[in-house]
Chain A
């Protein structure tokens, strides 16, 4: 008997469903409200951050907490160049500058492993935040900046394009020899080195690539917020959330990362409107619960769910 449920799990559904979703998203400005578009851009932003973060940190196990720095660079590029250059150029430069800074960061933090790398990236992100703040206060005289506004529909489409490109790049890397090498680095960097992988070069280039789309996303989102300052642009939450979202959804697969980012962004939206006082608290509980009981994230529920479905509905 063919039920709606069995259709859902079938192979054709798996190729058909993403296409359907993409079509719906691409035509959204036609039928959806402005509020929905804004919410969707928000979800796209977190998907970009999460998937980008996982491109490097996922397979290599080098947990970076510097995503906020690269996202923030994009934001500031938008703030500074927004009324000087056309929008697409600004977005590209946002990504490019992030990429270049990431190259520098990677080159200098070559030798750091494990915990040292993680706290280094966190310290770096915070140093940038405090330094920009100090600079703005003491040198430019203004803490916050205004960003040239851009039509919301353009923002929406820009984010949609960026998120699609991010997922495409992430997917290509994960299936490529580079992705394989990164997984080897994550499992045993010494062994990978001895098997011919130029570990330093690959780590640095992958890290840098992963930050490009973070920068572009920052440049786009800044135009939506219109007012930015260092605490907004380099907010450490932009470093922690992608990690939490990737773990929640399932860090090993891109689909999991997307689901995690989407689920938690939607959840945050709901919590902020209905129970603002419990929003951060719930996040904390979710994080601890996931780490303790569901280390593989939501994606790890696939197999048990399938078993349950088969036991309940398939005769």
Chain B
């Protein structure tokens, strides 16, 4: 295998992996802490992507800058959704198991709602824009600069998030809450605020990933679900409830996916599902799980 090919597959895998890591971390926050397996996660990605698209095509706002606009708005929306709907559901549920089930179903409803509002707003046609797609040559492999930038941003956000989780007080609180809500409360973590914040943070990561995606891929209101599925698989791969694990899971999936696409296009989704099912049957607790 030539060096070019190797770089091609590796860098491609890292780009995909970086994106998947962000998306997976977002879902992991929502499930690990707030206990909502949010199947509408991909719709927040879509919102971030389409919002960035609109800001660029209508107002000429740099996609990288628009992160600053779209991010907080989606954060706020998600925070509101959690504190009105999911918190109410949680209070009405007799057990955490029941809440996980009903919140899963409620997030399906959310999926329909968000997707169809986006459909009304943006229409079903495929959209896209080109931004900064100057060619960059890496050891013989050629990439659009936008992809490299997206990779750098994804890695940057990912690393920043990782350090935040490991070294900051708030981040440690999040990881504690994801592991054991009751004990976390005992050591002083304000759980009620934490749930909503983590849910919103998860949506924020999704929106950021969406913005990065918008510069690289085609966009439609239907683009969300495949990413949600990948996020779920990555989260399980890393270990349900383990946020750091989801970052790793996302990266692994991205690299494998890119490799499979290279070997036989069209098989990547099947590969993801096959890995997923085998994982559940053999080691459902994932890589980092006990």
Contacts and interface: CB of A to CB of B under 8 A. Distances in A.
Interface of A: 61, 63, 108-109, 111-112, 114-116, 118-120, 123-124, 126-127, 130-131, 134, 137, 240, 243-244, 247, 277-278, 280-281, 283-288, 291-292, 295
B122 to A, nearest CB: 13
Given A126-B273, A137-B266, A288-B113, A116 B85 contact: no
A123 to B, nearest CB: 5
30 contacts: A61-B98, A63-B101, A63-B104, A108-B281, A112-B281, A116-B280, A118-B104, A119-B37, A119-B232, A120-B277, A120-B281, A123-B277, A123-B280, A127-B270, A127-B274, A244-B108, A277-B116, A277-B119, A278-B116, A280-B116, A281-B117, A283-B109, A284-B111, A285-B109, A285-B112, A287-B106, A287-B109, A288-B106, A291-B89, A295-B102
User: Nearest 5 A-B pairs (CB), nearest first?
Assistant: A284-B112, A287-B109, A288-B109, A281-B116, A284-B113
A127 B266 contact: no
Interface residues of B, number: 40
Which label, helix, strand, loop or mixed, suits the secondary structure of the B interface?
helix
Nearest to B229: A126
B280 A114 contact: no
A130 B232 contact: no
Contacts of A126: 229, 273
Interface string B82-107: 00010011001000011011101110
Interface string B273-286: 11011001100100
Contacts, number: 104
Given A109-B281, A284-B108, A285-B113, 14 more contacts: A108-B281, A112-B280, A114-B100, A114-B101, A115-B37, A120-B277, A130-B273, A137-B266, A284-B113, A285-B109, A286-B109, A291-B89, A291-B105, A295-B92
B258 interface: no
B70 interface: no
A285 B110 CA distance: 8
B115 interface: yes
Given A114-B97, A119-B280, A292 B112 contact: no
A151 B104 CA distance: 41
A94 to B, nearest CB: 24
Contacts of B229: 126
Interface string B233-245: 1001000100000
A120 B37 CA distance: 14
B269 interface: yes
Contacts of B281: 108-109, 112, 120
Contacts of A295: 92, 102
A65 to B, nearest CB: 9
A295 B113 CA distance: 19
Nearest to A126: B273
Contacts of A119: 37, 232, 236, 280
